Amino acid sequence: MSGAWSWVLMGGEQVWSPGFFRLLGLVPNAAKASYELLLSLVHPEDRHRLPSFGEIRQGHVPRETIVRVIRPNGTVRTLSLVMEARFSGDGRPVAVNGTALDVTDREQLSHVSHEERRRRGALYLTEHIVTFSVGLDLVREIPFEVAQVHGLPLENICIDPYIMIVPEERNAFQDAAGGQIERRLFFQGTAHERLANGELWNFRIITVPVRDPDGTYLGRYGLKYPVRSPVPVPAALCEGLDQAVTGNHLRAARALLDWSMMDLAQASGLSHSTVRRLEEDGEHRGSRSRLQAASTLRRAGIRFIPLDDGTLAVAKA
């Protein structure tokens, strides 16, 4: 939702668009447009972000500012206000125009992302556990705290995370990981890394390919944690492993549960023909059907366990 407003400084006339009234939680034209009314609705902690009357009359307005607005019904929305002063030929400010856009969802997402980055960073500082993502450009999205713990430049780690591995293990690990990444398969391995304080830690690193429901490859998701501190597998990593489940894994899982294809179809809500296609590897890796079947088997006690040699093992809990 968006709106616009204007203020002619000479005569004092202020005009709000219907959209601007609605952004503030007001019925269009039910109240007189005024800067005082706008200020009264802005959250008290944010009012300092808006220019004073004196600043506006001098033409000193911010290009853009973000403020929270408390509507008459008590709801809070976040608005982006863009302002522009207009001047006469002799340089005197004559009017101020503005536009407003509701950016509540964007700001909430930004806040959540910030909190998630903070949490991930704190986890690496205390437990040396981190999740990360790898884009199609092979650049890693890694918290700054990883660089802090290892005493290396973050930009270097994001481009080449293998520099954290001790030199005598680096090439072998990189070759093994690179082969699996090139084939867009999951990878798991262990390696020793030196911390900035001189300590030597043994880490397990798991990365899995990520695909959309159409099977398009989007990049990779990874988990790194000390070998001595096993951690629960994050949901995103589980989904990546489920995408690696093949027909052989499904048949092995059914055998462990003593299920027929019809049993799996009924338990998962899939058709018998879909289960057959999955077991014949007739559907792409990212298909929802594959994830649904794997999730059903997990709930029944099946575990898909990545091994360091690149094998995805099947076990029954």
Alpha carbons 185 and 166: distance in angstroms, whole number: 25
- Which is it for the CA torsion 160, 130, 136, 295, positive or negative? positive
Question: What mean pLDDT, rounded, does the chain reach?
Answer: 88
Question: Residue 11: what pLDDT?
Answer: 81
pTM value surpassing 0.75: no
* Strand order across the beta sheet in which 187-194 lies: 140-141, 130-134, 217-226, 200-211, 187-194
Task: Check residue 109 and give its pLDDT.
Answer: 78
Predicted local distance difference test score (pLDDT) of residue 31: 84
The answer for residues whose C-beta is within 8 angstroms of residue 163's C-beta and 6 or more apart is 152, 156, 157, 170
Question: For the segment 157-176, what is each residue's pLDDT rounded down to a tens digit?
Answer: 988 899 999 999 999 999 99
Torsion of CA 237, 241, 243, 244, to 10 degrees: 150
CA-wise closest residue to 145 among 196, 69, 111: 196
Distance, in Å, from the CA atom of 132 to the CA atom of 120, rounded to the nearest integer, reads 9
CA distance 273 to 262: 9
- Spans of the chain, pLDDT less than 50: none
161 alpha-carbon distance from chain centroid: 20
Predicted confidence at residue 273, as pLDDT, reads 92
Residue 55's contacts (CB-CB under 8 Å, 6 or more residues apart) are 61
